[in-house]
Amino acid sequence: MCSKAEDGGKKLSKARSSGRSAKEKYLRMMKKSGDLHARAREVMPGGVESNWRFLEPFPFYASYAKGSKLYDVDGHEYIDYLLSQGAIILGHRRKEIVEAVRRQADRGANFAIPSETVVKVARMISDFVPSAKKVRFANSGTEATMHAIRLARGFTGKDKIAKAEGGYHGVHDYVMVGLWGPIERMGPEARPRPEPFSRGIPKAVQKMITIFPFNDAEATYEVLRRDKDKLAAVITEPVMGNAGVLLPRKNYLRELRKMCNELNILLIFDEVITGFRLGKGGAQEHYGVRPDLTTWGKALGGGFQLAAFGGRKDIMDDLLVKDKEWPMYTFHGGTYNAHPVSIAASAATLGALRDGRVYSNLDRMSRMLFPAMQDMLDDLHITAKVSRCGSMAHIYFDIADVNTVRQANYLSNWDKLGEWCMECLVRGVMFGHPKGEKMFLSDAHTREDIESSLEVAQVGFSRLKK
């Protein structure tokens, strides 16, 4: 066992023990993680902090990370393309972020009163994203979408919201419907049903949600038109991250914008994943569509807990006392909102993104990695689609093209994706979560990382072929 000191971990060979299955290799590699999980199960359901983090037969445990690499408690090194589910855009432990966080920690952790840096970050968000005339802060994507939806209801005086089938907007009750489930429970594709994704979602809440089919403009319009007098807002991811990397069809987002204008419904873009990742202005800049409200998270905090929501001035000002009629405003609060340490990390992150150099590098690395994966799959005659948008990508196995959520969720082979990810993990490359997830790039990834990763990807694809 090599040292777990920070000068490097055990690099895994793509040829190592080629006769063993990936699961056998995993069990042999992860002795300490297995012991930790046995202890964790005694105090946490499933031994994990979040349902998404569970992995059969058990998750491996991280020790530290630096640059493009992550190291586990057993001393193994991985090229990391999970990157905290896209939150790490500059790389792990980026020097300017670490220094900013240390300076702020020396001044104090939290004050529950405004700090000077929050003004700077709010201004940068507004400068980067023209639709964000004013912003407020939260601690997670869940909180940001919750507040944006409440604000839309308060501003319009209407109660219902519409969300795209398959869209993930956090874990509060109003968005935990219409994500995924047995297809026979999801309703017709053109008129999806608000099927709850979790126990504990009140039936009364389900009645307040309308579900529409992403990428079908005609069906979307019919769904929204029927409920237009009750709908406060439409909320959608511009790029559907919960369904992999499902790109909007040409003009779909622009058509959605026109529908909302015509039907007098607010449009909320959930850019928790795409915000500051696809460019300074996020997906709305990339696709040329301006929403009424936007939510951000992940890359905004540079690896620290931070989220925000913002948009039109008249809507955002509904958070202020407006008249004497009760309730007098739409409430937003939180002890840890704009936590000074996280805000310091955000200021350093946005500062590094300001000149565009990072995005040029991300695009260069993306063009090296993702098209080469598609070429490998094609050469091996494996039916699969590598769907890419900027520095994020996803592989849909057993399907040549993907345009709808139902194609992504029910025709794509997610088990095969998980098998490939595990084959690569035991060889030292973490292409997203080992059970099958999106891939992200950071500014810390190098040409050497890409070349090594492609070698491992080739081995993984070949193992699947066999």
> What's the rounded Cα separation, in Å, for the pair 156 and 232?
6
119 and 142 in a single domain? The answer is yes
428 and 369 in a single domain? The answer is yes
> Which residues span the domain enclosing 160?
95-353
303 and 252 in a single domain? The answer is yes
Q: Mark which of 311, 327, 353 sits at the end of a domain.
A: 353
297 and 154 in a single domain? The answer is yes
Whether residue 269 is contained in a domain is answered as yes
pLDDT of the residue at 18: 53
Count Cβ atoms within 10 A of the Cβ of residue 405 and give its class: 0-12 exposed, 13-18 middle, 19 or more buried. Answer: buried
248 and 294 in a single domain? The answer is yes
Whether residue 256 is contained in a domain is answered as yes
Q: Lowest mean pLDDT of 46-55, 111-120, 339-348, 383-392, name the range.
A: 46-55
Whether residue 86 is contained in a domain is answered as no
Residue 385: pLDDT over 50: yes
Whether residue 87 is contained in a domain is answered as no
Residue 411: pLDDT over 50: yes
> What's the rounded Cα separation, in Å, for the pair 244 and 405?
9
Alpha helices in 2-108 (DSSP H): 22-29, 31-40, 83-86, 95-107
- Quick one: what percent of the chain has pLDDT higher than 70? 97
301 and 162 in a single domain? The answer is yes
Instruction: Taking residues 100-127, report their average pLDDT.
Output: 96
Q: Mark which of 328, 353, 378 sits at the end of a domain.
A: 353
pLDDT of the residue at 20: 81
Whether residue 1 is contained in a domain is answered as no
Crossing angle of helices 357-379 and 447-465, rounded to 10°: 20
Crossing angle of helices 414-425 and 22-29, rounded to 10°: 50
Give the catalytic positions in this structure: 168, 270, 298
Total structural domains within the chain: 2
The upper half-sphere exposure of residue 111, i.e. CA atoms within 13 Å in the direction of its Cβ, equals 13
pLDDT tens-digit map of 51-103: 888 888 999 999 999 999 999 999 999 999 999 999 999 999 999 999 999 99
Sheet with 392-397, edge to edge strand ranges? 384-389, 392-397, 439-440
Residue 325: pLDDT over 90: no
Mean pLDDT of the chain: 94
172 and 126 in a single domain? The answer is yes
Residue 2: pLDDT over 50: no
pLDDT of the residue at 13: 55
258 and 119 in a single domain? The answer is yes
Instruction: Please name which of 301, 298, 285, 295 lies closest in space to residue 151, comparing C-alpha atoms.
Output: 295
Tokens of 38: 């046995």
Q: What 3-state class would DSSP assign to 233?
A: strand
CATH number, domain containing residue 178: 3.40.640.10
214 and 108 in a single domain? The answer is yes
Instruction: Please name which of 440, 368, 129, 394 lies closest in space to residue 247, comparing C-alpha atoms.
Output: 394
pLDDT of the residue at 227: 97
Residue 395: pLDDT over 50: yes
